[in-house]
């Protein structure tokens, strides 16, 4: 690129600005130019975007095909800053509006509460003077009649007793299950009796349900055996650790 014609910049200063329009420039001679319109600029220096203090740049009627990457990045940075500042201002305004609405709502709620309290106090004062005297009546129930409170107490006690019995039965069944799973000699007879009773129960059930009961028996025996083996293994492991 041929060197640009030397220009006396002092002659181009007008009101504190340098006007280099209509000078047939082919390159930017300085770093703080504002008006470069109507020249023959075909490209700008790659570091042109480093002129971050430029507030106005006029490149009207030149031969530029693209702008330097640094210039585009600087534009993006400035645009993002502007967008962030605008978003921050919008957020501040939204927060202020929300606080104002919250304060207004709190004032309304306080007024409503105060109004309700005044109304309740007025009703209470009126009811104290106008409240009729109610005579207590004693009801004599016949001897054979069931009194409601005692009846409720009886059913509640009966229900508690039934639940207690069920819980004891379940705990006893679990205890027997664990003992028989360990295959102690003392519990072998008990296990045989339980199996025998289960077989009698299965024979009493209609045949259509036999497959389901057989499947239940099969899986129950697997769980029973695995439980005993697990307890024995845990016992052996604990013994080894303690010893």
Nearest of 19, 16, 3, 5 to residue 60 by alpha carbon = 19
Q: What pLDDT band is residue 130 in, cutting at 50, 70 and 90?
A: low
Asked, for residue 233, whether it belongs to a domain, the answer is yes
- Give the domain extent around 20: 1-67
Name the percent of the chain lying above pLDDT 70: 76
Same domain, 4 and 61: yes
Nearest of 14, 12, 64 to residue 39 by alpha carbon = 64
Residue 119 has pLDDT above 80, yes or no: yes
Residue 165 has pLDDT above 90, yes or no: yes
End residue of a domain, out of 25, 46, 67: 67
How far is residue 25's CA from residue 4's CA, in Å, rounded to a whole number? Answer: 6
Mean pLDDT of 205-210: 88
Q: What pLDDT band is residue 1 in, cutting at 50, 70 and 90?
A: very low
Domain count along the chain: 3
Same domain, 29 and 84: no
Q: Which DSSP category does 19 fall into?
A: B
Residue 64 has pLDDT above 50, yes or no: yes
Contact 51, 73 (CB under 8 A): no
48 or 206, which is more confident? 206
Tell me how far apart the 2 most distant CA atoms of the chain are, in Å: 130
Same domain, 101 and 126: yes
Contact 20, 33 (CB under 8 A): yes
Asked, for residue 222, whether it belongs to a domain, the answer is yes
Q: What is the SS3 assignment for 3?
A: coil
Asked, for residue 163, whether it belongs to a domain, the answer is no
Mean pLDDT of 100-111: 89
Helix (H) or strand (E) holding 160: helix 148-181
* Highest mean pLDDT pick, 59-68, 122-131, 160-169, 233-242: 160-169
Nearest of 48, 40, 2 to residue 22 by alpha carbon = 40
Return the ∠ at Cα 207 (arms to 202 and 213), rounded to 5°.
45
């Amino acid at each position: 690129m041929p060197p640009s014609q030397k220009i006396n910049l002092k002659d181009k200063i007008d009101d504190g600005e340098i006007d280099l329009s209509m000078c047939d420039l082919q390159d930017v001679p300085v770093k703080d130019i504002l008006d470069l319109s109507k020249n023959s600029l075909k490209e700008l220096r790659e570091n042109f975007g480093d002129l971050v203090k430029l507030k106005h740049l006029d490149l009207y009627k030149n031969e530029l095909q693209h702008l330097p990457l640094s210039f585009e990045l600087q534009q993006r940075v400035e645009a993002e800053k502007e967008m962030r500042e605008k978003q921050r201002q919008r957020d501040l305004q939204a927060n202020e509006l929300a606080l104002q609405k919250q304060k207004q709502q709190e004032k309304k709620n306080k007024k409503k509460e105060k109004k309700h309290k005044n109304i309740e106090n007025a009703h209470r004062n009126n009811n104290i003077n106008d409240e009729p005297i109610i005579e207590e009546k004693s009801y004599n129930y016949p001897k054979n009649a069931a009194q409601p409170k005692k009846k409720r107490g009886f059913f509640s006690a009966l229900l508690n007793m039934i639940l207690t019995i069920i819980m004891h039965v379940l705990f006893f069944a679990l205890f027997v299950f664990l003992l028989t799973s360990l295959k102690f000699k003392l519990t072998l007879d008990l296990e045989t009796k339980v199996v025998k009773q289960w077989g009698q129960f299965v024979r009493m059930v209609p045949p259509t349900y036999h497959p389901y009961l057989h499947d239940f028996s099969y899986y129950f025996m697997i769980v029973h055996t695995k439980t005993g083996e697990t307890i024995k293994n845990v016992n052996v492991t604990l013994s080894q650790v303690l010893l």
